[in-house]
Each structure stands twice: as structure tokens, then as C-alpha cells.
Chains A and B, each alone.
Chain A
Amino acid sequence: MSATAGLTKPRFVLPGPVIASVAVVALIALAIATGGPVIVRQVVSGLLLGAIYMTVAVAFTLTIGVLNFLNFTIPSLFMLTGMVAWALVSRGYLTFAGTWAWLVALLVGVAVAVAASLLVERFTFRYLRMKHGDATEHAIPLVSSLGFLLVFENLILIPLGSDSQRFTVPFKADVHIGGMVIGVAQLASCVLAVAVVGALSFILKHTKVGRALRTIAENPDTASLLGVNVGRVVPVVFILTGVLSGLAGALFTVNYGDVSPFMGDNVGTKAIAAMVLGGIGSIWGAIVGGLVVGLAETLSIQYFGGDSVSMMVWGLVLVIIILRPKGLFGIASIGKGKM
């Protein structure tokens, strides 16, 4: 069973991790077989980018899978982490932390993302539930999230400016694998991203909260009748969204060192593409989709030049949505609710 196949109904499918690893390994093998050492380097940086897309894509897929809600605030949560961390360090608020200031700043950044995500919950789902009894069949959360996107972006833009800024991490260590130099931070990021997504998958499958989330995904009214406290469980989705987006933002900030108020836009759209590719509502789909989009991006820059990326990725998304809406791993019944 893939992790969230149970979001709708139990059915037998190949284990998600198996398909996921086979697909990714096949792709990498193909790339390496056709290219030389240059390609190997592109594959590694593609996988790193993919780990970030993957984490954001899991956040998207979780909110759609459970709440039928395309949450447009996710890119801004991603951005909040990086910008808040940069502001804290550059304004000298964290001098007490010494050389670990960057880590403290990033942790505060993730906390801010979680708080912002809970604010979104307060004004979309909690309010709608009080007024209409159900929030999963409305376009209202979508519109509200677009409003919050503007709020968060400008809240950062006004005091901190629209320029791209440098966020430096004071240590630098590399490992050498077969003549290739890979940053420890990059490796750690990949491991951390995979660990968090794995933990999420475990939570969904084996814990009480996870079971409650899967029940809500199936039908909020029935979940409520069966004794799930929907009002208590829905915020969990938003906390997880905040953690995943914030973590991705922190990893991006550490690895690329550039932060700007618009850093979330590109990553957010690529993550949506990754989610669609893998299949909406499927966590393993989001993982494979994220890695594939990351690889596709670095490889198509290598072969076709930089400005072809966006069109190719979106063209692929359009074709997949129309021809195979459930993507590679998706669950057919998710996301078809009326908007």
C-alpha cells in the first residue's frame, strides 16, 4: 500500500517506495548512461533541487488530499522562513547564539511559517466550518489563500525590500565521492527531507491523528459522525503544511544562500507541477514527482538552455492532467469536488 492510498479506500497497489525508487533510479541510470561526468554533477544537483520540490509538493498534496484545498499560501510560507531567518541574522538579533545563529534563525523561521499557516486555517477552515458546517466544497479557501499570499509577501516586502539577499552559513565541509565534490549541507538536506517525509507517511498510516486525517479525507461529515473531532484535527494539516514548507525554505536558504521575497514563487509552481506529475493526493507520487522535476530542470538547462524549463514542465503538467489526471500514483477520486 502506498502511504496515502488509504486516504480514500483500501486497494492493492505496488508498494509506493518500490515504484518510487525504481522510477528514480531508472531515470538517473539513463541520464548517466547517455552523458559523462558533467551529467553526473547535473544529476546530483537535480536531486538536491528535487528534494526541495518534493518537500513542498508533499505539503500541497496533503492539503488537497485531506481538505480538497489548493493552498496558494505554501510558496509564501517557504519564503517567510528564508526571509525571517535572514532578517534575524542581518539585523543582529541573534548575536547571543554565536556561530549557531544561522540555525536558530532558521528554526525561528520555520516556527513563523507554522504560525502563519495556523493563521490561514483560522480564517479559512475554522470560520467556514462555523458558518457553513463544511469547508471542503467551496472555492472560498482558494480565494482566501490567494489573499494571504499577497499579505505575507507584502508584509516581508515592505520592511525588508524586494532585493535578493545573501544568507551565509559559517561552516563549509565537503565529501568526495568518486572524484565528485558534494557539500555536507546538501547531503544533510536530502537526508532530512526524506526523513521528514518518511515520518509524515508513518504518522498518516499508523497514528491516531493519521487515521483521523484519512477519515476526513474520505468525508468530513462521516468523520464527524464517527467521533473524529474535525475542528481539532484540521489544524494538524496546517501545522504539517507549515513544517514542510518551512523546512523546504530552510534547506533552500542553506544550500543556495539566496533569499528574496519572491523565492517561493518558482519553487511553488515547480512543486505543483511535481505533485500533478506524481498524482494528486499521493505522498509517494509527490516524492517521485519532485525528484523528476528537479532532474528535468537541471538536465534541460544542460541540454536546451534556461528559459525552456518553465514551458516544458507546464506543458507536461497540462498533458498529464488531461490524459491521465491521476498522475503516476494518484487516487482518482481526489480533487474532483466542486469548486
Chain B
Amino acid sequence: MSGYLSGTLAILCINLIFAYAIFVTAAAGQINLGGAGFQAIGAYATAWLASQPDIPMRIIIPAATLITALIGFLISFPVLRTRGVYMVLATFAFGEVVSGFLLRSSIFGGAMGMVVTQHIELWVLIASAAAVTLATFYLMATRLGLAMRSLNDDEEAAAVLGVNVRGVQVAAFTIGGAFAGFSGALYALNFGFVEAQYFNSLLSIYVLLFVLIGGAQTAWGPLAGSLFFTILPELFRIGGSWRYFVFGVLIVLMMVVRPEGIVTRDLVRRLSPFGWRSRRAAGSSHGR
């Protein structure tokens, strides 16, 4: 496999896991515009652990994931006090604070970044992305996943029907934090270098777009969004520097043509060979 192709594949895998992190919260109706902050925590935790003597990779990755999940859990309580635009801004501010902190901290290398001495194989990345994808599909089919969907559609109605609103939201933030930390760990181990400048607000914006363009209604969305966002720029690279412009135009047009994202519940229902849950999905195209 050529270096170019394997590089693209590695980025796709990391982006996909990152997109699922934001998807899990978005599926529960929470917009997280601070994704880069969570990913940065996972990446820096990995870089720091890898710089300590004698910690094998099979411990580093779960540890970084757990640390980020814990931070996601803790930050969910203050953030969930906010709603709507305020939540978008609170999560955005969180991302900025994390990258600002990392940029100034001396033990994490400050503006110089950190070199990661251990390296991960490509097949591990692919296996991880597949595992996270399957786990999210499973999650969305469980009772918790249904509760998350119900919060996205109508929080009051869900509460009336006995859904533990706060509990489900906290769970979504914690799982999202774990996925983001996992993707950060893989990022650090794949590229061998982390710097705070990479985890900026533009990254948070992009990953949120992965999810919202792909579609936040079903677990297919992030898959479609990541493919759209990772493969299209590679195709446009041939066409010169106009690719980001085309990218922006596509986002605007997508919102006009398919405001619920590329893959909607309705589309999944129509394409499904089984036609399951058809009554439930039929009337939900105005969910958000």
C-alpha cells in the first residue's frame, strides 16, 4: 500500500472515531463545539504516558480513553446547565481553554508540542474504527440509544414518558468523551507528535460538520460525513486550492437540499431490506 493511501486511511479512521464522539452527544440533542478540547486531552495524556518509562501501549490507550471519559463526565454537569446557543458557546469555550492551557503548560511542552515515542500499526487503527462504528450502532439500538434519540426529538415528552433526562445526557457526554479521547490517543500514536495548535477551534468546527452533514439521526451519519469530508478534499486536491471553497459551497448546498444530513432515518428505512421500525421513522423528518 502506498504511503499516501495509508496516510489517508489513517486520517479517515481517526476522524471517524472522533466524529462518533461528537455524534453520541449530538444524537442526544446536545451540540458539542469543543470536540478538539476532548481530543487534545486524549492525545496529550497519551503523549505524557508514552514519555514515562515502561508503559506499554495496551495500557496507554485505555488509560488515555478513561481519563478523557472522566473529564467528559465531570464537564457534563456544568455544561448541561446550559442550553441551545449557550451550550454551543460553553463547549466552544471549553475547547479554547484546553488548547490555551496546553499551549502554556511546561510539562506538556507548551508551544513546542510533544514527541510520542511509540507508534501504532495501521491495522490497529482500522480495527479500532470498525469497533467504534459497531459499538455505536449497537448503542443506538439499545434502550439508552432510544432514550438519546427521544431527547433529541422532544425532551419534555421524553421526560414525561419516564426517561431520566439528566442521566442520559451525562452518559452521552461521558461516552462521547471516551471516544474523543480514544481518537486523540490514536492520533498521537499514529503521527508521533502532538502540538496544541492542531487542536484549534477549526478542528472542532470540522468534526461537528462531519456529524451534522452526515446526519445526526442514525449511526450511519458520521460514517457518511467522515467519508464525505476525508475523501472529497483528497479528490479536490487534484483541482488545486479551490477545494475548501468547493467544500464550503457543498456545506451550504447540503443544508438546503438535505438539512437533516446525508443519511436520515427516513433514508435508512427506505433502503433497509427489512423495513423495520417503519411506523416510528415515518413521521420524524422534522425532528430537529
Which residues of A come within 8 Å of B, CB atoms?
A: 64, 68, 70, 72, 123-124, 127-128, 131-132, 138-140, 142-144, 146-155, 157-158, 269, 272-273, 276, 280, 307-308, 310-311, 314-315, 317-318, 321-322, 325, 335-339
Contact A339 B87, beta carbon cutoff 8 Å:
yes
Q: Taking the complex as formed, is B282 at the interface, i.e. its CB lies under 8 A from any CB of chain A?
A: no
B85 CB contact (under 8 Å) in A155, A269, A335: A335
Q: Does B90 contact A (CB under 8 A)?
A: yes
Q: How far, in angstroms, from A332 to B213 measured CA to CA in the complex?
A: 31
Min C-beta distance of A58 to chain B, whole Å:
16
Q: Are B252 and A148 in contact (CB under 8 A)?
A: yes
Task: Provide the bound-state CA to CA distance between A330 and B204, in Å.
Answer: 27
A143 near B88 (CB under 8 angstroms)? no
Q: When each residue 233-250 of chain B gets 1 if its CB lies under 8 Å from chain A and 0 otherwise, what string results?
A: 000000001101101111
CB pair A276 B89 closer than 8 Å: yes
Could you tell me which residues of chain B, from 149 to 178, have a CB within 8 Å of some CB in chain A? 155
* Candidates B31, B82, B208, B252; contact of A144 at CB < 8 Å: B252
A70-B88, A339-B288 given; name 14 further pairs at CB < 8 Å: A70-B85, A131-B259, A139-B31, A139-B288, A144-B252, A151-B252, A154-B245, A157-B241, A269-B96, A272-B92, A307-B100, A321-B82, A322-B90, A335-B85
- By secondary structure, the B interface counts as helix
Q: Give B residues with C-beta under 8 Å from A.
A: 29, 31, 78-79, 81-90, 92-94, 96-97, 100-101, 103-104, 111, 155, 201, 205, 208-209, 212-213, 241-242, 244-245, 247-252, 254-256, 259, 286, 288
Interface residues of A, dominant DSSP: helix
In the docked arrangement, what's the CA distance between A32 and B287, Å? 54
**Which of A123, A149, A318, A338 gathers most chain B CB within 10 Å?**
A318
Q: Are B93's CB and A314's CB within 8 A?
A: yes
| Residue contacts A-B, CB under 8 angstroms, 5 given | A143-B213, A158-B241, A158-B245, A272-B92, A311-B96
How far apart sit A314 and B89, CA to CA, in the bound complex (Å)?
Answer: 10
| Nearest CB in chain B: distance from A332 CB, A | 11
Total contacts A-B at CB 8 Å: 137
* Interfacial chain A residues near B88, Cβ < 8 Å: 70, 142, 339
Chain B CB count within 10 A is highest, among A128, A307, A314, for A314
Instruction: Give the shortest distance, in Å, between A61 (CB) and chain B (any CB).
Output: 11
**Contact assessment for A322 and B79 in the assembled complex, using a CB-CB cutoff below 8 Å:** yes
In the complex, the answer to whether B93 meets A321 with C-beta atoms within 8 Å is yes
Closest-by-CB residue of B relative to A141 is B255
Q: Which B residues lie within 8 Å of A143 (CB)?
A: 209, 212-213, 251, 255
List of B residues within 8 angstroms of A276 by Cβ: 89, 93
Nearest residue in A to B77 (C-beta to C-beta)?
A322
Q: How far is the CB of A15 from chain B (nearest CB, A)?
A: 26
Known A-B contacts A127-B256, A336-B83; the reply to A322 vs B78 at CB < 8 A is: yes
Asked if residues A321 and B86 are in contact (CB atoms below 8 Å), the reply is yes
B245's partner among A144, A155, A335 (CB-CB below 8 A) is A155
Interface pair A307/B97, CB less than 8 Å apart: no
Contact, CB under 8 Å: B85 / A68: yes
Query: How far apart sit A311 and B254, CA to CA, in the bound complex (Å)?
Result: 34
